[in-house]
Amino acid sequence: MHEEVSSLRSEFISRALATQNHDELEALRIEFLGRNGRFTALLKSLKDIEPDKRRQMGELLNQTKKILEETLATQEKETTQKEEKKFDDTIPGIQPPIGHLHLVTQAIDEISRVFMDIGFVRRRYPEIETDFYAFEGLNMPSTHAARDEWETFFVEPNFLLTPHTSNGQVREMERGALPIRMINISKTYRRQSDISHVPMFHQFEGLVVDQNIHITHLKGTLDYFAKNFFGESRKTRLRPYNFRFTEPSFEIDITCGVCNGTGKLPSGNSCKLCKAGWLELGGAGMVHPNVLKAGKIDPTKYSGFAFGWGVERTYMMKSGIQIPDIRMLYSTDLRFLRQF
Ligand code: FA5
């Protein structure tokens, strides 16, 4: 009878652990412990056992009964918990956080749209570039001091992280498809970091090459962009400058959006972002004949203009955007990023 008790106990425990709900557990209880249950039958048969073994057997059956009842109680509790955890489709859902495009990506989309509306085609040229397209082909021979301005990261002697999107000018000309109306937007790199400089930033480069392209086309295009992107109230100005790849060359400034072009903050302190109310956005000019030649275009027949602006600075100058330090754009602080 010992063996019978122990195999009944093992069977009970393993079947109890396998039950999935209260009904299955109740059926098991009845099968073993009910009035006509298998364990109850063993208890009833106790009276037929020889008197000297009955006491020992009685103890064994009592202990076993306790184990069966404890197993039932534990399993009962687990089943209740499991059923409580079941999916309740009446509970309101938890809204997952929804992100949005980074403000620099938004700026790139917006800038592209303004230019594409007047027939510019979006292009992308390599971020890791050869010396030729970044400098040599842009009228900057290897010994020329003008290269210093670009504070370039070299990867290998002949390869560099492009410090400006002007690397796309000769590449675009080499495609041999005239006229050219491209807008090249890409990442650019320089060894600079302060309130208005980051080591990785973006530029957008416009290049137009055709017959009879004059400086008025350049001026008109820049004015059109400034009006569309910044609004009628912002002012731009051209300052004479020199780039080796354009002649004549200019820098373009816009009235500062942080101090509204006054150079002073409401606190009376001078604005740290701009110079006396003006912030430089980028360079521009008429394409130098040597650059047209490097791109296999005859400068006696064709002329062109080009401009290259910083995407981040341009976006920071938009009305209503108050970003006092360019490095904030590349911080990972969600409280800052969620505002845009
Ligand atoms: C150039 O890079 C010329 N390639 C622009 C050009 C193109 C001139 C075509 C003529 C014809 P510049 O070094 O000034 O020029 O840079 C252009 C703009 O990039 C700057 O005005 C500024 O808006 C942005 N910029 C430059 N360096 C940084 C930097 N470290 N961080 C953020 N923006 C920068």
Per-residue pLDDT of the chain (340 residues; tens, 9 = 90+): 788 898 999 999 999 999 989 999 999 999 999 999 999 999 898 888 888 888 888 999 999 999 999 999 999 998 888 877 777 788 898 888 889 999 999 999 999 999 999 999 999 999 999 999 999 999 999 999 999 999 999 999 899 999 999 999 999 999 999 999 999 999 999 999 999 899 999 999 999 999 999 999 998 998 899 889 988 877 778 899 999 999 999 999 888 877 888 999 999 999 887 888 887 888 999 999 999 999 999 999 999 999 999 999 899 878 677 788 999 999 888 888 888 8
Overall size of the chain counted in residues: 340
**Nearest atom of ligand 1 to the alpha carbon of 251:** 14
Q: How far is CA 277 from the centre of its chain?
A: 32
Strand order in the sheet with 159-161: 128-130, 159-161, 154-156
Centre of ligand 1 to C-alpha 225, Å, is 17
CATH architecture of the domain formed by 103-337? 2-Layer Sandwich (3.30)
User: Cβ(309)–Cβ(204) under 8 Å?
Assistant: yes
Centre of ligand 1 to C-alpha 205, Å, is 10
**Nearest atom of ligand 1 to the alpha carbon of 307:** 9
Give whole-number Cα distances, 317 to 146, 165, 259, 307, in Å: 28, 20, 10, 18
CA 193 to CA 202: how far, in whole Å? 14
| Ligand 1: residue whose CA is nearest its atom 2 | 164
List, in order, residues 6 or more apart from 20 with CB less than 8 Å away: 79
CA 277 to CA 260: how far, in whole Å? 7
**Is the CB–ligand 1 distance for residue 281 below 6 Å?**
yes
The per-residue pLDDT for 88 is 79
Neighbours of 337 (CB within 10 A): 15
- Which helix (H) or strand (E) element contains residue 69? helix 51-85
The string of DSSP letters for 186-208 reads EEEE-S--BTTB-SEEEEEEEEE
Centre of ligand 1 to C-alpha 175, Å, is 25
Centre of ligand 1 to C-alpha 277, Å, is 19
Burial of 308 (0-12, 13-18, 19+ CB in 10 A): buried
The per-residue pLDDT for 91 is 87
Centre of ligand 1 to C-alpha 308, Å, is 6
The per-residue pLDDT for 319 is 67
**Is the CB–ligand 1 distance for residue 284 below 6 Å?**
yes
CA 219 to CA 238: how far, in whole Å? 9
The per-residue pLDDT for 306 is 98
| Ligand 1: residue whose CA is nearest its atom 17 | 282
Delimit the domains of the chain by residue range: 2-85, 103-337
